[in-house]
Amino acid sequence: MNKVYPDAKSALDGVVKDGMMVMSGGFGLCGIAETLSDALRETGVKNLTVVSNNAGVDGIGLSRLLETRQIKKMISSYVGENKLFAQQYLAGELELEFNPQGTLAERIRAGGAGIPGFYTKTGVGTLIAEGKEVKEFNGEKYIMETGLVADLAIVHAWKGDTAGNLVYRKTARNFNPMMATAAKVTIAEVEHLVPAGEIDPDHIHTPGIFVQRIIAVDPALKRIEQRTTRKRA
């Protein structure tokens, strides 16, 4: 089957629907599927539940979907860099499910591995534990968390081949590999698209079996979330 699509709009065709759950890879602005999230905005799809470590910064990535009120709920671990996110949440316009960062990563990994739930000590005795089952193991209390499986995952990779095998670069790996396994449909945007067989199998982070569609994007676009400089002599 041909997994390569000419652009983000065509890659999303027939996949999106109102009320769906979307996993969006990245951490801040590192490794986000910006081209695909912008195309998702253009579809006009609404009432989305988005699973992402955070919503980036104002005006970029998922924040552009917040601008158009297309996101109904976020499942995240950190949202401190996005003023629009905070405004909508405090105004009661956006639902938010907070997860400790490690718990969020494990919920996604568990979903991809077919594990419906697991126990963790993280969050015991805090607001995180409210409404969740608590069980004792070896004298210690644990709360049960559920695995997450999305309708769609959008991920960003440094290199990919036409069979869908992906390689992430350094910290842009973050949430992308887990999310690629935990959705019914995974669409990858890659900076360097190469023929099948060109990537050393030992270097592959996400096997092509998890990726249904792939597009090539401009490798030159590298945004910086926080720029810190010092005065020069």
d(CA 201, CA 26): 24
Per the structure, the count of domains in the chain is 1
b/e per residue 26-59 (b: at least 16 CB within 10 A): bbbbbbbbbbbbebbbeeebeebbbbbbbbbbbe
Residue type, 72: K
- 165 domain-assigned: yes
pLDDT given at position 68: 96
| Cβ(135)–Cβ(121) below 8 Å | no
Q: Which of 33, 15, 35, 14 is nearest to 24 (CA)?
A: 33
At 24 the three-state DSSP class reads strand
Yes or no: say if 133 and 122 are a contact pair by the CB < 8 Å rule.
no
Write down the H helix ranges in the chain: 8-12, 34-43, 63-67, 83-90, 101-112, 176-181
In a domain, 131, yes or no: no
Cβ atoms of 145 and 118 within 8 Å: the answer is yes
209 φ, ψ (degrees, to nearest 5) = -60, -25
CATH number of the domain residue 26 falls in:
3.40.1080.10
Which residues are CB-neighbours of 222 under 8 A, at least 6 positions away?
none
Residue 59 pLDDT: 87
Per-residue pLDDT of the chain (233 residues; tens, 9 = 90+): 899 999 999 999 999 999 999 999 999 889 999 999 999 999 999 999 999 999 888 889 999 999 999 999 999 998 777 889 989 999 999 999 999 999 999 999 999 999 999 999 999 999 999 999 999 999 999 999 999 999 999 999 999 999 999 999 999 999 999 999 999 999 999 999 999 999 999 999 999 999 999 999 998 777 777 778 888 87
Residue 36 resides in a domain: yes
Q: Helix (H, G, I), strand (E, B), or coil: what is residue 230?
A: coil
- pLDDT score for 223: 77
Tell me what pLDDT residue 70 has. 97
Q: Which amino acid is residue 139, in one-letter code?
A: G
In a domain, 208, yes or no: yes
Q: Please tell me the distance from the alpha carbon of residue 108 to that of residue 96, in angstroms, as a whole number.
A: 17
In this predicted structure, what is the pLDDT of residue 102? 96
How far is 49 from 21, CA to CA, in rounded Å?
5
- 157 in a domain, yes or no? yes
From 127, 146, 124, select the one nearest 135 (Cα to Cα): 124
Residue 55, domain member (yes or no): yes
Q: Is residue 227 part of a domain?
A: no
Three-state secondary structure call for residue 101: helix
- Residue 88 domain boundaries: 18-116+148-216
Residue 209: inside a domain, yes or no?
A: yes
pLDDT at position 19, please? Answer: 98
